[in-house]
Amino acid sequence: MQQCQYRCRRLLHRLITVHLALPRWRRALVVGDRGTGNSRASRILLLRYKYAGGNPRFGLSPEEHATYAPLAEAGIGEIDQFYFDVDHRQSLRGERHIIDRAARFRPDLLVLSSYDPWNAWHPYPEVLQAIRAVSSLPTLLIWHDSVGDSQVELARRLENLVDLHLVMDSSNLCRRFGEDRFLRLWVPLTQTIFHAGGAERDIPVSFVGSTESYRDVRKPFLEYLSAQGMPLLVTGGQHQESLSLEDYALVLRRSKITLNFSHSIPGKHQEKARVFEALFSGALLMENSGNEETKLHFTPMVDYVEFDSKEDLLDKVRYYLDNEDERNEIASNGHAKAVQQFGHRQFWDRALKRIEQLGLGFFARSAEA
């Protein structure tokens, strides 16, 4: 109880201090001009995590390959990055740091990734609102996880801060708030890390991911395959076994079949990043049935294979390991569709089109333009 009271007092003190400092910080923002004419590239300020879970021990955050790299390779402007876990953390200095960064960089677009106003590592909404208001700055929020009721409350909390929400994993927020300012997209990858080829497919079946907490629904399927003698490779990801992104991508390139389980919190399904990582890598993706999110972009038994039970999974693993031509045909279909229709350029083309439709006043201009 005492520790909780202490944290609350610290939080209140920080909030009051921020509000007292805001007028002075606003004056820093109004000095100079963004200069959005044809003389320079568009400028994008991206706020995100640098490390997975904010912990350097786990390696770089998945936002490195699922947010920053796709945005950079789309070539829509010059990017400056502000890291929640490095540049901000839990200090008032972090609030001033983001103000100074915005004043110096003069962005034309603010992009938030995994932003949570209740997280002490993240800038206060009032601080971001000041940057946005003084600079007339369009603001986007990228959602990596949007299926829960807490995400619905978060979206309501950010109603006056965010102009456009780019949702990667589910249609939950679009159903709740409409599709005008909530755009259901996908996980945008480049082919720098996740790509087909360059390795022999010598792993018959793989699963890379956690089996802890709510993810323990995966265990019966994996244990059943192993008990039936299937040549299954199971390894944890960044948090569980500190598997590097490059090693994870190599496992997928070496896999003939790789598994995905779409369950999130109880009763909810997501289109996991693993779907796109597997398909970009050219493996045959097998995913549990009942997930309407993946079906928004891919067709079962054409681009990937669904299974209904652990027995059905066993039968299908055996069948597609024995029937290479059919396995390769479905894997090739999924790979081609993912790369050609759901890459990073298509993602940002859709986002920019919606920005234009909403009249937000951002015009993409690369450094080479």
Is residue 237's pLDDT more than 90? no
Cα separation of 341 and 359, whole Å?
A: 26
Query: What pLDDT, on the 0 to 100 scale, is given for residue 308?
Result: 96
Record the tokens describing residue 88, joined without a space: 């901000």
Contact call for residues 323 and 342 (beta carbons, < 8 A): no
Q: What is the mean pLDDT of the chain?
A: 88
Query: What pLDDT, on the 0 to 100 scale, is given for residue 204?
Result: 98
| Mean pLDDT of all residues in 283-291 | 97
The class level of CATH for 38-190+344-357 reads alpha beta
Record the tokens describing residue 39, joined without a space: 């003389």
What predicted TM-score, i.e. pTM, was given to this entire model? 0.89
Tens digits of residue pLDDT in 325-367: 999 999 999 999 999 999 999 999 999 999 999 999 887 776 5
| Mean pLDDT of all residues in 62-91 | 92
Query: What pLDDT, on the 0 to 100 scale, is given for residue 112?
Result: 98
Query: What pLDDT, on the 0 to 100 scale, is given for residue 91?
Result: 65
More confident residue, 160 or 241: 160
| Mean pLDDT of all residues in 196-214 | 90
12 residue type, one letter: L
A 10 A CB-CB count for 119 gives 13
More confident residue, 183 or 27: 183
Query: What pLDDT, on the 0 to 100 scale, is given for residue 215?
Result: 75
Q: How far apart, in Å, do the first and last CA atoms of the chain sit?
A: 58
Query: What pLDDT, on the 0 to 100 scale, is given for residue 126?
Result: 86
Query: What pLDDT, on the 0 to 100 scale, is given for residue 6?
Result: 38
131 residue type, one letter: I
**Residue ranges per structural domain of the chain:** 38-190+344-357, 203-341
Domain 203-341: give its CATH superfamily: Glycogen Phosphorylase B; (3.40.50.2000)
A 10 A CB-CB count for 274 gives 23
Query: What pLDDT, on the 0 to 100 scale, is given for residue 217?
Result: 85
| Mean pLDDT of all residues in 155-176 | 96
Spell out a b/e string for 227-265, using b for 16 or more CB atoms within 10 Å of the CB, else e: eeebebebeebbbeeebebeebbbbbbbbbbbbbbbbbe
Tens digits of residue pLDDT in 223-233: 999 999 999 99
Tens digits of residue pLDDT in 94-152: 788 898 899 899 999 999 999 999 898 999 898 898 888 877 899 999 999 999 999 99
Within this chain, domains 38-190+344-357 and 203-341 share the same CATH topology: yes
Which residue, 229, 46, 183, is CA-closest to 128? 46
Cα separation of 312 and 62, whole Å?
A: 32
Query: What pLDDT, on the 0 to 100 scale, is given for residue 5?
Result: 47
